[in-house]
């Protein structure tokens, strides 16, 4: 994503700020910027996670669905939630 923005910015600056006569260099940079954007979109990973907060909604820790046990994520979050409920009810 950074590559997309930087090359796009350089291409615009070459055309408007430096009045470069050649259209080849800014064109190549614009194409490179567009391709970087496409690669970013297709490789963007969506990560599902659960965040556990204190009573005043301060985040304490987060757990992400990833790795070899990703299929057991819901079970794990449920078990942690149950342990938190049990611990807070004892107080």
pLDDT digits (tens, 9 = 90+) for 22-72: 767 777 878 888 888 888 888 887 888 899 988 888 988 899 988 888 899
The reported pLDDT for the residue numbered 73 is 92
Distance, CA of 30 to CA of 10 (rounded, Å): 9
How far, rounded to the nearest angstrom, does the alpha carbon of residue 64 sit from its chain's CA centroid?
13
Token digits for 42? 């297709």
Banded model confidence at residue 91, pLDDT cuts 50, 70, 90: low
Distance, CA of 14 to CA of 10 (rounded, Å): 6
Contacting residues for 66 by C-beta, under 8 A, at least 6 apart: 47
The reported pLDDT for the residue numbered 12 is 78
Token digits for 25? 């260099």
Residue that wins the pLDDT comparison between 79 and 55:
79
How far, rounded to the nearest angstrom, does the alpha carbon of residue 28 sit from its chain's CA centroid?
27
Distance, CA of 38 to CA of 54 (rounded, Å): 40
Residue 77 has pLDDT above 90, yes or no: yes
Banded model confidence at residue 82, pLDDT cuts 50, 70, 90: very high
């Amino acid at each position: 994503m950074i590559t997309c923005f930087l090359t796009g910015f350089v291409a615009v600056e070459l055309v408007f700020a430096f009045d470069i006569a050649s259209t080849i260099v800014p064109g190549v940079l614009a194409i490179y910027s567009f391709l970087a954007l496409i690669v970013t979109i297709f490789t963007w990973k969506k990560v599902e996670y659960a965040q556990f907060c204190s009573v005043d909604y301060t985040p304490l820790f987060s757990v992400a669905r990833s790795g070899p046990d990703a299929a057991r994520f819901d079970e794990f979050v449920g078990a942690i939630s149950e342990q938190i409920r049990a611990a807070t009810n004892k107080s």
